[in-house]
Amino acid sequence: MNLIPNDPTPAEDTTTAADTGTTGRRPVLTASGLIKAYGRVEALRGADFELFAGEVLAVIGDNGAGKSTLIKCLSGATVPDSGVLRLDGRPVQFRTPQQAKDAGIETVYQTLAVTPALDIASNLYLGREIRKKGPLGTVFRLLDTAAMRRSAEEQIRKLGIATLQDITQPVETLSGGQRQAVAVARAAAFGSKVVILDEPTAALGVRESGQVSELIKRLRDNGLPVVLISHDMPLVFELADRIHIQRLGRRAAVITPRSHSMEDAVAIMTGARPA
């Protein structure tokens, strides 16, 4: 289990919940005992994972700890050798990213999947285009551009992305932070259950990172739980409700910004201190 050493919260029957303040909250996405080997490299060696409703869960860990592999198992990009995934308590198996998307799990990978030549609205609806009603749409496959623009605008406004003003602007004319905002907005628009962000601020400047961090808070406030993979400790400690520390292919601990310092987190991450 993932006990927090010296945590002042009195223990209840489920240790993880009591220690991390999640008692009574609903797990949305969980994994238990995930194993994934690439040849002789064991990327995951019995990894557990729990995401609760309404939280930002950060996932941290040294290079090679299995963070990306864990996320790929949750998002259907990789099929684990064994272990069980549950979404809203029901066992699920994702063989493809599309299956995870269909189940409401959207992932923004570090290598951004935006299409530079298309405008913002088209990027939001890439692969999920709205067609015109009737035979124009069903037979001639005509796109309902106006409808896509309207709802893209609404989505961007709902998320309070002030940096994106003109929905018809080609994405190639946007800054790194604005592109990231488009990718996150798309995930938020279609991720009905979970949004996973892999290093969303890695390529961004300070101001742009601030914008993405505001966006993540807004997602949480809109009720979407967010999984945030990041090396950026100040960002993690600013945003996360709980922090999953991945080490040597397993979850070594779950801590919170209240229970532990950044130094504690790094010490557990590197193995300098037992979890």
Q: Would you tell me which residues interact with Mg ion (CB under 5 A)?
A: 67-68
Task: Enumerate the H helices of the chain as residue ranges.
Answer: 15-20, 67-74, 97-102, 120-124, 135-138, 145-158, 176-190, 206-221, 233-239, 262-270
Residue 225 contacts which entry, Mg ion, ligand ADP, none (Cβ below 5-8 A, type-dependent): none
The count of residues in the chain is: 275
User: Least distance from C-beta 111 to Mg ion, angstroms?
Assistant: 11
Q: Which C-beta is closer to ligand ADP: that of 64 or that of 104?
A: 64
Residue 66 contacts which entry, Mg ion, ligand ADP, none (Cβ below 5-8 A, type-dependent): ligand ADP
Residue 75: closest CA among 46, 104, 114: 104
Q: Which C-beta is closer to ligand ADP: that of 38 or that of 140?
A: 38
How far CA 42 is from CA of 34, 69, 80, 81, 107, in Å, comes to 11, 10, 11, 10, 23
Tokens of residue 172, six digits: 């190639």
What's the CA gap between 143 and 73, in Å, rounded?
33
User: Least distance from C-beta 64 to ligand ADP, angstroms?
Assistant: 4
- Quick note: the x/- pattern for ligand ADP over 33-72, rule CB under 6 A, is -----x--x-x-----------------x-xxxxxxx---
Q: Is 201 in the site for ligand ADP (CB under 6 A)?
A: no
Q: Which C-beta is closer to ligand ADP: that of 79 or that of 126?
A: 79
- 82-87 sheet: strands from edge to edge: 41-52, 27-38, 82-87, 90-92
Q: Which C-beta is closer to ligand ADP: that of 43 or that of 219?
A: 43
Residues found near ligand ADP in the complex (CB under 6 A):
38, 41, 43, 61, 63-69
